């Protein structure tokens, strides 16, 4: 039985982006084999793909069925070849991008990228520390610049008579408006997994790949963490910005997220949603795309997730952004606007990673950051320098990390330089290393480094 919490997930201003505390895992599909009948997510009013694949295909036109069969055959052939040749994880990722997520990639109303996300967690001192992870793919919505909004979406396919209303740029997704609202301390709503950015906003799906089936546990753990983080972004979006302890409407709680894992040719599909204040992640399908039935089923699933993204997720996001934009207009001050022009610059917003393609198996530290001197002014708490809480957290975490690294690496350099100058190590018991930095001798340079990067900064 699930632990039913009566107390709702607490949210308060200033808004601090925090993942859900816990992940609840449902595998009733795997245990009961009843995913075609009624997944738990569907019973709780969330969207689930139609798992009666025969009926789903019969409802399509002959041309649509032929197109799906062709894509499934391509997926099966590539998966079989990758399996036979024992290819790397990179080749399996290519298979996913080109044969599974291809239509989502081509949809200009959506955006897909291998992109990091920031998250906050408390350290051993109870202070928030901002860390970063990188899933293999994140799927969300694009923001639009002024040119996009002015010219709109123009279909370039000859003879196309489709209605492209769902692809049209919308002012509610304006990158300028989103950035200004996000940087307003009276709002501070994070819209992108990379705090401060507006490139890929409010994800609807996340993907993690591994080379072998023996890596499933690792892939699932990474997916669970991404679900807790991205679902929390949607939870904040759905809140009433004038009282974030409540939702905008009764329908606002029905946000959700899809997740995919692949270990070799074996795939799993998850759906995540807020269940009694926890992030519940339910496995609703799994299969091996080396087999024709599983390959066509995965194609049918991904197309339905694609439709969900354009027909339900995108309208949900835009509708709930209206209240946040309205609050920004009502609360923005000249000081806020002036500071936003600085915070929106390339210098000011801490980027995610010096190497955005790094492995996501470990947390990475944000790079490409401003220098310490450049960021020192960010901790001016006067009314003339308003700051959203997320920015303060990320800047402080970055400075702590940079100071710690600079001090530790500097210690090694100073010690090495001194040893070369004296043609040998210091006499036993010497404290000249600490004296070089103007610190009281402590005996252990490592302990000095830890103390300086933590306690000294906190009292400065």
Question: pLDDT digits over 227-251, tens only?
Answer: 999 999 999 999 999 999 999 999 9
pLDDT for residue 213: 61
Nearest in space to 353 (alpha carbons), one of 123, 141, 133, 67: 133
CA distance 313 to 204: 7
Q: What is the largest CA-CA distance in the chain?
A: 85
Per-residue confidence (pLDDT) for residue 448, from 0 to 100 = 42
Predicted confidence (pLDDT) at residue 197 exceeds the cutoff of 60: yes
Q: Is residue 112 part of a domain?
A: yes
214 and 113 in one domain? Answer: yes
pLDDT attached to residue 112 = 97
Mean pLDDT of the chain: 80
Q: Is residue 10 part of a domain?
A: no
Q: Is 418 part of any domain?
A: yes
Which of 16-30, 32-46, 334-348 has the highest average model confidence (pLDDT)? 16-30
Q: Map residue 369 onto helix, strand or coil.
A: coil
- Can you tell me the distance from the alpha carbon of 369 to that of 52, in angstroms, rounded to the nearest whole number? 50
Residues 351 and 327 grouped into a single domain: no
Q: What does the pLDDT average to over 89-114? A: 95
Are 300 and 416 contained in the same domain? no
Kindly state whether residues 230 and 312 are assigned to the same domain: yes
Are residues 320 and 236 located together in one domain of the fold?
yes
The whole model's pTM is what? Answer: 0.79
Using CA atoms, how far apart are residues 135 and 218, in angstroms rounded to an integer? 12
Rg (the chain; Cα; Å): 25
Domain membership flag for residue 3: no
77 and 222 housed in the same domain: yes
User: How far is 315 from 310, CA to CA, in rounded Å?
Assistant: 8
Specify burial of residue 112 (Cβ count, 10 A radius: 0-12, 13-18, 19+).
buried
Range in 28-42, 287-301, 402-416 with the lowest mean pLDDT? 402-416
Determine the average pLDDT of the residues in 74-80: 97
Mean pLDDT calculated for residue range 318-337 = 88
Are residues 225 and 286 located together in one domain of the fold?
Answer: yes
- Rounded distance, CA 193 to CA 196, Å? 9
Residue 458 has pLDDT above 80, yes or no: no
- Does residue 357 share a domain with residue 250? no
Same domain, 325 and 357: no
Least confident of 140-149, 241-250, 261-270, 379-388: 379-388
Q: How many domains does the chain have?
A: 2
CA 214 from chain center: how many Å? 25
Query: Does residue 376 sit within a domain?
Result: yes
Q: What is the pLDDT of residue 36?
A: 54
pLDDT of residue 445: 39
Which residue among 275, 306, 332 closes a domain?
332
- Answer whether residue 9 is part of any domain: no
- Of all residues in the chain, the percent with pLDDT exceeding 90 is 55
What pLDDT digit, counting tens, does each position of 365-401 carry?
Answer: 444 333 333 444 444 444 455 788 899 888 888 777 7
* 391 and 286 housed in the same domain: no
Whether 273 and 354 map to the same domain: the answer is no
Q: Which residue has the higher pLDDT, 276 or 442?
A: 276
Q: What single string gives the DSSP state of each residue in 379-438?
A: G--STTS---HHHHHHHHHHHHHHHHHHHHHHHHHHHHHHHHHHTSPPPTT--HHHHHTT
Residue 17 within a domain: no
User: Where a domain ends, among 332, 353, 385?
Assistant: 332
User: Which residues form the domain of 81?
Assistant: 23-332
Distance CA 268, CA 77 (A): 19
Asked whether residue 57 is assigned to any structural domain, the reply reads yes
| Same domain? 301 vs 425 | no
What is the predicted pLDDT for the residue at 105? 96
Domain end position, chosen among 332, 363, 396: 332
């Amino acid at each position: 039985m699930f632990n039913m919490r009566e107390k709702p997930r607490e949210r308060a201003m200033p808004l601090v982006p925090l993942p859900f505390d816990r992940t609840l895992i449902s595998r009733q599909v795997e245990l009961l084999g009843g995913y075609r009948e009624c997944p738990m997510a569907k019973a709780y009013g969330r969207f689930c793909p139609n798992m009666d694949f025969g009926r789903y295909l019969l409802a399509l036109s002959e041309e649509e069925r032929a197109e799906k069969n062709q894509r499934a055959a391509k997926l099966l052939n590539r998966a079989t070849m990758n399996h036979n040749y024992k290819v790397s994880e990179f080749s399996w990722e290519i298979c996913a991008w080109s044969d599974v997520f291809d239509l989502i990639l081509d949809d200009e109303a959506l955006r897909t990228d291998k992109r990091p996300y920031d998250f906050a967690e408390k350290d051993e001192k109870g202070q928030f520390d901002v860390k970063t992870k990188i899933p293999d793919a994140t799927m969300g919505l694009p923001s639009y610049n002024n040119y996009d909004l002015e010219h709109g979406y123009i279909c370039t396919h000859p003879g196309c008579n489709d209605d492209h209303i769902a692809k049209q740029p919308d002012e509610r997704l304006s990158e300028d408006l989103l950035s200004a609202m996000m940087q307003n301390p009276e709002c501070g709503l994070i819209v992108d997994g990379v705090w401060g950015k507006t490139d890929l906003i409010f994800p609807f799906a996340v993907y993690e790949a591994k080379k072998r089936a023996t890596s499933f546990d690792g892939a699932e753990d990474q997916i669970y963490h991404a679900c807790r983080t991205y679902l929390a972004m949607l939870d904040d979006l759905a809140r009433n910005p004038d009282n974030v302890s409540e939702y905008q409407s009764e329908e606002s709680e029905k946000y959700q997220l899809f997740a995919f894992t692949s270990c070799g040719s074996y795939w799993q599909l998850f759906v995540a949603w807020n269940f009694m204040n926890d992030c519940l992640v339910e496995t609703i399908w799994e299969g091996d795309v080396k087999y024709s039935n599983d390959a066509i089923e995965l194609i049918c699933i991904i197309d339905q997730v694609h439709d969900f993204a354009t027909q339900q997720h995108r309208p949900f996001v835009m509708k709930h952004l209206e209240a946040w934009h309205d609050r920004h207009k009502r609360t923005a001050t000249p000081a806020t606007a002036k500071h936003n022009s600085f915070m929106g610059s390339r210098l000011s917003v801490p980027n995610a990673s010096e190497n955005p393609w790094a492995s996501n198996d470990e947390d990475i530290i944000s790079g490409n950051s401003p220098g310490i001197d450049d960021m020192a002014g960010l901790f001016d708490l006067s009314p003339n320098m308003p700051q959203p809480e997320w920015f303060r957290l990320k800047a402080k975490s970055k400075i702590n990390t940079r100071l710690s690294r600079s001090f530790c690496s500097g210690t090694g350099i100073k010690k090495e330089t001194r040893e070369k100058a004296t043609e040998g190590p210091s006499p036993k018991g010497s404290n000249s290393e600490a004296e070089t930095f103007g610190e009281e001798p402590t005996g252990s340079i490592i302990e000095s480094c830890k103390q300086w990067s933590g306690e000294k900064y906190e009292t400065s």
